[in-house]
């Protein structure tokens, strides 16, 4: 894995002419062809298109263009439009769906010289924490193929962990970037809500969805984030605000930074290995000169409950458009009702159906106040809790995952336990905060763990600075023994 | 307050509230850049956004908000600095996203009223709210295409995403006539303000009516029935009339009114049940997460206010008082903004109000109708207000008679020649040549010796006959005073 160059390294090599984009992309395609049979990170590898795009990048570099991602091969989660490819959300209901063009994120990556090598596997419509809900296949964790890679951006995380690509993009609604990143021992970053355009991202829960990078290093994540961030007239929820200099912030260090460890994340129920790993992180920050404290954000304890009401409610509405009328397979033409019922019954998998039902119920007349209305009120209170916490601290730290990656099939019959995989990632989603998961150590059985750093809204620079400090001192291997072996 | 007698002699007091949808006159749709089209080929004015493709997001059209604000200001409504869009969720093939983006518990405008004329005088019909929303597409069940099987329905999404305002009225209306007046007034207002073209037949103005009856004007409100999508003001009145009667008869038979939605069946002249309350949709409204709050600032409101014209009722009042017009004429003139503009331009060119009003409400409206010239087109038609004024000044000064004026007007319709030139060319103007007048008088006197004799014998009433003859001879162009003077002299000097 260490042999495979990172994002910044690749861009520098291609920009300077030491390497070509075509060579980089060919190498990535070769790694995927050789290794992905074991993991199933990709739904589709678009080699011909990628090589064609790589040639275009080489021509631009030769013409003197300075491209921050020159020749960088990236994997895109299958819920983002990339021109020329299908976008299926790993769902039967979007079988064959060809988007009208690039998503804003893909367009910005393309402009920066990145090349799209394939569509990464995911839980159907980004609903899940294991990538087992893909209508296509289960993706395996490169650290241990008997285990899940996490989810829903499990394909993206596995592709980076396996060393196929230096960078991938995922979407994070309640932890779908950070949780698989932690499970696969890579960096996963979710920006502040509104930083990155959602245009061309198939919506799961509109008020929560945010696109972000998965990489092997914090620096690479900062580079990818900087390229895709910024106001987009096509997405009214993006903010018109300077992105800042996340890469420049990397070297700032944490001396004097107030870092609060989240009280609610610690306690008796915490997995001992996760607790030990958190202790190590505390030492790292202290040794690096941070002012380490404990900070309470009381309503994080009810975040999962709020999340499953709000996210499911929005999903039930967002997924109404998949009706078999305009695109996707139409299962019946008998009459209108059959068209809807049959197309949706056959098109959606069980977890998606579960969330649609949950969300429909939460919004139903007579239940709205008790569920959606109440969840939204508590969501605001949770945001207020965070505001108060950030008045006393610059960054908040907690584990990314409550336990290392579980075994394939272990939780498929127990959705509630599965939902708890996101217990540490959901709070930042609900409050719209930037949060990053950094690989922080291995369990005794050799599985990765991750530590999460949360910042205040638009506090990306702080998050990257703290994450870099943690990364620099964390005891984490450069390569996956099995993959490297 | 009117009561309707049913055949079974139960007196009922109707209570009516209207919900009106008006299509805003924007160039593009409310959440995407597609043009708002009329009669374009099906699905030619669509894009991934208004087709609800996964991954697309709505972006609010500022112009739609400005027009909606203008209407709300015209209705004296309260504008809310912050309002919110909401999703109304239901499945239908003409609804691309499976939800309609509308406003729900936080509309941009609440309150306000529309004044109507009733036999008892002016009455204000209060508004609950005005809100913004997007239109759905259109289903074509009877397809015009040979290659499409009969049992297939097609969908045209050109209309999907066209901006609408919904104007929800309080149940302040007490008869079908009041409902018709309200709609007429509202249609005039949306047209005056340039917010909507007000065309009910084409569906750019649509009306749903909520009708209930009670047995005393002070009794609690009865169960209401909603009548959907009636496409003319006359039909709305008929549908309400019929529905009141139907409910009255139900009550007379001792039956309860069922809360339901009914459709107006124009051929059958009745309403038919569409769905009951139990079958009603649960729309599961919730705030639209893809759009932020709609925030109105002073500047935006001022911009909308600045574009407000003088409103029709105020204008009618001014024309009646300042111009001294008959109420009926003033009302006719303000029925369309451009007609009143036409009239006012005639007056501005120097014609007295009443004369201008007579001609505009009479002659001008006649040729506009005959030649299918809209009031808007009339302003720049061959007979522009200024050219009509040129003609009317000739009538006012007595240069030509009113009857000649009408002939001149007809000639002006098909030419660009000024009124005065036509008058001269046709020789319709007042006779200024005293020699010619004297000659005509002499000729009449000389040619009618027996009448002259009668006159000389003291039958002075024959003088009028002579005047008539001279006027006839001169084609009505002679000045009657000059005719009298010349005749008196000629008769005196005539032989015995």
- Distance from the Cα of A77 to chain B's closest Cα (Å) equals 13
Asked if B289's CB is within 8 angstroms of A314's CB, the reply is yes
pLDDT tens digits for range A253-276: 999 999 999 999 998 788 999 999
Q: Which residues of B touch A314 (CB under 8 A)?
A: 286, 289
C-alpha angle B454/B460/B462, rounded to 5°?
65
Q: Which residues of A touch B278 (CB under 8 A)?
A: none
Contact of B93 with chain A, judged by CB distance below 8 Å, is answered with: yes
**Does the pLDDT value for residue A136 go beyond 90?**
yes
Asked if A336's CB is within 8 angstroms of B93's CB, the reply is yes
A412 backbone dihedrals φ, ψ, rounded to 5°: -65, -25
Chain B, 223 to 282: residues with Cβ < 8 Å from chain A are: 282
Ranges A440-454, B281-295, B435-449: which has the least confidence: B435-449
Q: Which of B34, B46, B57 to mutate to test the interface with A (most CBs of A within 10 A)?
A: B57
Q: How far apart are CA B183 and CA B191, in angstroms?
A: 12
Contact of B88 with chain A, judged by CB distance below 8 Å, is answered with: no
Q: Which residues of B touch A87 (CB under 8 A)?
A: 54-55
Whether A206 is catalytic is no
**For residue B450, what pLDDT is reported?**
87
- Distance from the Cα of A325 to chain B's closest Cα (Å) equals 7
Q: How far apart are CA B205 and CA B79, in angstroms?
A: 22
Q: Which residues of B touch A325 (CB under 8 A)?
A: 93, 155
- Catalytically annotated residue among A134, A136, A176, A440: A176
- Distance from the Cα of B121 to chain A's closest Cα (Å) equals 42
**For residue A481, what pLDDT is reported?**
67
For residue B200, what are its two tokens?
């009910």
Asked if A320's CB is within 8 angstroms of B54's CB, the reply is no
Q: Does domain B434-493 have CATH number 1.10.10.410?
A: yes
**Does the pLDDT value for residue B1 go beyond 50?**
no
Task: Assign a CATH topology to domain A7-257+392-484.
Answer: Amidase signature (AS) enzymes (3.90.1300)
Asked if A321's CB is within 8 angstroms of B289's CB, the reply is no
Stretch B376-398: mean pLDDT, rounded?
89
- Distance from the Cα of B296 to chain A's closest Cα (Å) equals 16
Contact of B96 with chain A, judged by CB distance below 8 Å, is answered with: yes
Q: How far apart are CA B152 and CA B155, in angstroms?
A: 10
- Distance from the Cα of A206 to chain B's closest Cα (Å) equals 6
Q: Assign A432 to helix, strand or coil.
A: coil
Q: How far apart are CA A365 and CA B282, in angstroms?
A: 6
Q: Are A333 and A457 in contact (CB under 8 A)?
A: no
CA distances from A26 to A110, A157, A169, A381, B372 (A): 17, 20, 20, 50, 71
Given B54, B58, B97, which is nearest A202 (Cβ)?
B54
**Does the pLDDT value for residue A242 go beyond 70?**
yes
Q: How far apart are CA B264 and CA B241, in angstroms?
A: 11
Confidence of residue A165 (pLDDT cuts 50, 70, 90): very high
- Mean pLDDT of the residues in chain A: 96
Q: Cite the residue boundaries of each domain of chain B with CATH code 1.10.10.410.
A: 434-493
| 3-state secondary structure string across chain B | CCCEECCCCCEEEEEEEEEEEEECCCCECCCCCCECCCCCCCCCCCCCCCCCCCCCCCCCCHHHHHHHHHHHHHCCCEECCEECEEEEECCCCCCCCCEEEEECCCCCEECCEEEEEECCEEEEEEEEEEEEEECCCEEECCCCCCCCCCCCCEEECCCCCCEEEEEEECCCECCHHHHHHHHHHHHHHHHHCCCCCCCCCCCCEEEEEEEEEECCCCCCCCCCEEEEEECCHHHHHHHHHHHHHHHHHHHHCCCCCCCEEEEEECCCCEEEEEEECCCCCCCCCEECCCCCCEECCHHHHHHHHHCCCCCHHHHHHHHHHCCCCCHHHHHHHCCCHHHHHHHHHHHHCCCCHHHHHHHHHHHHHHHHHHCCCCHHHHCCCCCCHHHHHHHHHHHHCCCCCHHHHHHHHHHHHCCCCCHHHHHHHHCCCCCCCHHHHHHHHHHHHHHCHHHHHHHHCCCCCHHHHHHHHHHHHCCCCCCHHHHHHHHHHHHHHCCC
Q: Checking DSSP bridges between strand B121-134 and strand B109-110, what pairing results, if any?
A: antiparallel
- Distance from the Cα of B81 to chain A's closest Cα (Å) equals 18
Please report, for chain A, the start and end positions of each structural domain, with discontinuous segments joined by +: 7-257+392-484
Task: Report CA dihedral (B374, B379, B383, B384) to the nearest 10 degrees.
Answer: 170
pLDDT tens digits for range B132-150: 999 999 998 877 788 888 8
pLDDT tens digits for range A296-325: 999 999 999 999 999 999 999 999 999 999
Asked if A363's CB is within 8 angstroms of B286's CB, the reply is yes
Whether A190 is catalytic is no
**Does the pLDDT value for residue A482 go beyond 80?**
no
**Does the pLDDT value for residue B457 go beyond 90?**
no
Nearest CA in chain B to A368: B284
Q: Are A348 and A409 in contact (CB under 8 A)?
A: no
| 3-state secondary structure string across A335-360 | CHHHHHHHHHHHHCCHHHHHHHHHHH
Nearest to B193 by CA among B170, B165, B169: B165
Given A103, A322, A372, which is nearest B55 (Cβ)?
A103
**For residue A28, what pLDDT is reported?**
98
- Catalytically annotated residue among A15, A136, A152, A437: A152
Q: Which residues of B touch A80 (CB under 8 A)?
A: 55
Given B155, B282, B289, which is nearest A207 (Cβ)?
B289
pLDDT tens digits for range B236-278: 999 999 999 999 999 999 999 999 999 998 888 888 898 887 7
Asked if B55's CB is within 8 angstroms of A313's CB, the reply is no
Q: How far apart are CA A281 and CA A105, in angstroms?
A: 33
Stretch A162-166: mean pLDDT, rounded?
97
Contact of B119 with chain A, judged by CB distance below 8 Å, is answered with: no
Given B60, B98, B284, which is nearest A321 (Cβ)?
B98
Q: Are A70 and A61 in contact (CB under 8 A)?
A: yes
Asked if B55's CB is within 8 angstroms of A99's CB, the reply is yes
- Distance from the Cα of B183 to chain A's closest Cα (Å) equals 32
Percent of chain A residues topping a pLDDT of 70: 98
Q: Which residues pair with A167 in a beta bridge?
A: A74, A215
Confidence of residue B2 (pLDDT cuts 50, 70, 90): low
**For residue B404, what pLDDT is reported?**
84
**For residue B7, what pLDDT is reported?**
56
Instruction: Find how far residue A390's CA is from the centre of its chain.
Output: 24
Q: How far apart are CA B329 and CA B318, in angstroms?
A: 12
Given A199, A320, A365, which is nearest B57 (Cβ)?
A199
**For residue A485, what pLDDT is reported?**
40
- Distance from the Cα of B90 to chain A's closest Cα (Å) equals 8
Nearest to B116 by CA among B197, B165, B173: B173
Find where tokens 């005794």 sit.
A444
pTM of the model as a whole: 0.91
Whether A343 is catalytic is no
Asked if B97's CB is within 8 angstroms of A99's CB, the reply is no
Q: Which residues of B touch A99 (CB under 8 A)?
A: 53, 55
Nearest CA in chain A to B281: A365
- Distance from the Cα of B98 to chain A's closest Cα (Å) equals 5
Q: How far apart are CA B249 and CA B7, in angstroms?
A: 7
Interface ipTM: 0.96
Contact of B91 with chain A, judged by CB distance below 8 Å, is answered with: yes
**Does the pLDDT value for residue B6 go beyond 70?**
no
Percent of chain A residues topping a pLDDT of 90: 92
Nearest CA in chain B to A235: B57
Q: Which residues of A touch B (CB under 8 A)?
A: 80-81, 87, 89, 94, 97, 99-100, 103, 198-203, 205-207, 233-237, 313-314, 316-317, 319-323, 325-327, 336, 340, 360, 363-365, 368, 372
Q: Running DSSP on this structure, what letter comes out for residue A113?
A: T
Nearest CA in chain B to A373: B286
Q: Which residues of A touch B48 (CB under 8 A)?
A: 100
pLDDT tens digits for range B301-344: 999 999 999 999 999 999 999 999 999 999 999 999 999 999 99
Q: Which residues of A touch B52 (CB under 8 A)?
A: 321, 326
DSSP E strands in A158-245: the ranges are 167-172, 187-190, 210-215
**For residue A356, what pLDDT is reported?**
98
Q: How many CB pairs under 8 A join A and B?
A: 94
**Does the pLDDT value for residue B8 go beyond 80?**
no
**Does the pLDDT value for residue B3 go beyond 70?**
no
Q: Checking DSSP bridges between strand A258-262 and strand A291-295, what pairing results, if any?
A: parallel
């Amino acid at each position: 894995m260490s042999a495979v160059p990172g994002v910044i390294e690749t861009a520098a090599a291609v920009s300077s002419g030491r390497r070509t984009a075509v060579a980089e992309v060919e190498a990535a395609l070769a790694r995927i062809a050789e290794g992905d049979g074991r993991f199933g990170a990709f739904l589709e590898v678009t080699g011909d298109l990628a090589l064609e795009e790589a040639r275009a990048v080489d021509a631009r570099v030769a013409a003197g263009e300075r491209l921050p991602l020159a020749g960088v091969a990236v994997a895109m989660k299958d819920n983002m439009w990339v021109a020329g490819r299908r976008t299926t959300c790993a769902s039967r209901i979007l079988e064959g769906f060809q988007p009208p063009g690039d998503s804003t994120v893909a367009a910005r990556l393309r402009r920066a010289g990145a090349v799209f090598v394939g569509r990464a596997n995911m839980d159907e419509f980004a609903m899940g924490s294991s990538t087992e809900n893909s209508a296509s296949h289960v993706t395996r964790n490169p650290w241990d193929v008997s285990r899940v890679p996490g989810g829903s951006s499990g394909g993206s995380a596995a592709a980076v962990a396996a060393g196929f690509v230096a960078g991938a993009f995922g979407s994070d609604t309640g932890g779908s970037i950070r949780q698989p990143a932690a499970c696969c021992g890579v960096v996963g970053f979710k920006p502040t809500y509104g930083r990155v355009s959602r245009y061309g991202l198939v919506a799961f829960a509109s008020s929560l969805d945010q696109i972000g990078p998965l990489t092997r290093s914090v620096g690479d994540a900062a580079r990818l984030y900087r390229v895709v961030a910024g106001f987009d007239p096509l997405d009214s929820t993006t903010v018109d605000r300077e992105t800042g200099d996340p890469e420049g912030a990397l070297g700032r260090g944490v001396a004097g930074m107030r870092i609060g460890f989240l009280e609610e994340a610690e306690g008796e129920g915490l997995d001992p290995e996760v607790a030990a790993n958190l202790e190590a992180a505390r030492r790292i920050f202290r040794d690096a000169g941070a002012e380490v404290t404990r900070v309470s954000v009381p309503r994080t304890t009810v975040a999962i409950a709020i999340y499953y009401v709000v996210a499911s409610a929005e999903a039930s509405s967002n997924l109404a458009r998949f009706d078999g009328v305009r695109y996707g397979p139409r299962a019946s033409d008998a009459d209108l009702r059959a068209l809807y019922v049959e197309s949706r019954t056959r098109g959606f998998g069980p977890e998606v159906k579960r969330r649609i039902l949950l969300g429909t119920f939460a919004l139903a007349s007579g239940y709205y106040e008790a569920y959606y209305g109440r969840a939204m009120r508590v969501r605001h209170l949770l945001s207020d809790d965070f505001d108060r916490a950030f008045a006393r601290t610059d960054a908040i730290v907690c584990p990314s995952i409550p336990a290392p990656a579980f075994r394939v099939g272990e939780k498929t019959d127990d959705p509630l336990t599965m939902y708890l995989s996101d217990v540490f990632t959901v709070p930042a989603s609900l409050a719209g905060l930037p949060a990053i998961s950094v690989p922080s150590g291995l369990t005794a059985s050799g599985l990765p763990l991750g530590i999460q750093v949360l910042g205040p809204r638009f506090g990306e620079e702080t998050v990257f600075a703290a994450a870099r400090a943690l990364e620099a001192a964390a005891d984490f291997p450069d390569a996956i023994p099995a993959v490297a072996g | 307050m009117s009561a309707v007698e049913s055949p079974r002699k139960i007196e009922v007091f109707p209570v009516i509230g209207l919900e009106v949808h008006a299509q805003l006159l924007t160039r593009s749709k409310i959440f995407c850049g597609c043009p708002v089209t009329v009669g374009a080929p099906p699905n030619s004015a669509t894009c991934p956004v208004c087709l609800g493709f996964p991954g697309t997001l709505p972006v609010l059209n500022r112009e739609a908000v400005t027009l909606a604000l203008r209407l709300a200001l015209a209705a004296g409504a309260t504008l809310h600095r912050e309002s919110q869009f909401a999703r109304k969720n239901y499945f239908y093939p003409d609804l691309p996203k499976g939800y309609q983006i509308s406003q729900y518990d936080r509309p941009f405008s609440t309150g306000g009223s529309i004044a109507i004329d009733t036999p008892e005088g002016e009455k204000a019909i209060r508004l609950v709210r005005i809100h913004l929303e997007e239109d759905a597409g259109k289903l074509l069940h009877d397809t015009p295409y040979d290659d499409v099987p009969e049992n297939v329905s097609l969908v045209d999404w050109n209309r999907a995403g066209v901006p609408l305002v919904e104007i929800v009225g309080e149940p302040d209306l007490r008869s079908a006539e009041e409902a018709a007046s309200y709609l007429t007034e509202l249609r005039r207002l949306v047209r005056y303000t340039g917010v909507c073209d007000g065309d009910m037949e084409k569906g750019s103005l649509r009306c749903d009516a909520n009708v209930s009856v009670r047995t005393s004007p002070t009794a609690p409100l009865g169960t209401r029935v909603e009548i959907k999508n009636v496409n003319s003001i006359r039909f709305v009145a008929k549908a309400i009339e019929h529905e009141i009667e139907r409910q009255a008869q139900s009550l007379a038979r001792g039956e309860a009114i069922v809360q339901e939605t009914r459709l107006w069946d124009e051929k059958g002249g009745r309403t038919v049940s569409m769905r009951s309350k139990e079958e009603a949709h649960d729309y599961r409204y919730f705030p639209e997460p893809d759009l932020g709050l709609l925030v109105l600032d002073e500047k935006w409101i001022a911009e909308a206010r600045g574009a407000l014209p003088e409103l029709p009722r105020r204008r009618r009042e001014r024309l009646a008082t300042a111009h001294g017009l008959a109420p009926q004429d003033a009302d006719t003139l303000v029925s369309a903004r451009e007609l009143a503009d036409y009239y006012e331009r005639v007056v501005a060119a120097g014609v007295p109000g009443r004369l201008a009003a007579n001609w505009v409400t009479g002659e001008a409206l006649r040729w506009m109708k005959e030649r299918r010239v809209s009031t808007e087109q009339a302003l720049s038609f061959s007979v522009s207000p200024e050219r009509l004024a040129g003609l009317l000044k000739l009538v006012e000064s007595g240069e030509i008679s009113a009857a000649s004026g009408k002939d001149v007007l007809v000639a002006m319709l098909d030419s660009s020649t000024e009124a005065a030139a036509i008058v001269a060319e046709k020789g319709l103007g007042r006779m200024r040549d005293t020699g010619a007048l004297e000659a005509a008088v002499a000729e009449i006197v000389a040619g009618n010796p027996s009448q002259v004799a009668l006159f000389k014998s003291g039958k002075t009433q024959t003088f009028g006959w002579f005047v008539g003859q001279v006027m006839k001879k001169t084609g009505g162009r002679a000045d009657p005073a000059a005719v009298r003077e010349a005749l008196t002299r000629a008769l005196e000097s005539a032989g015995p």
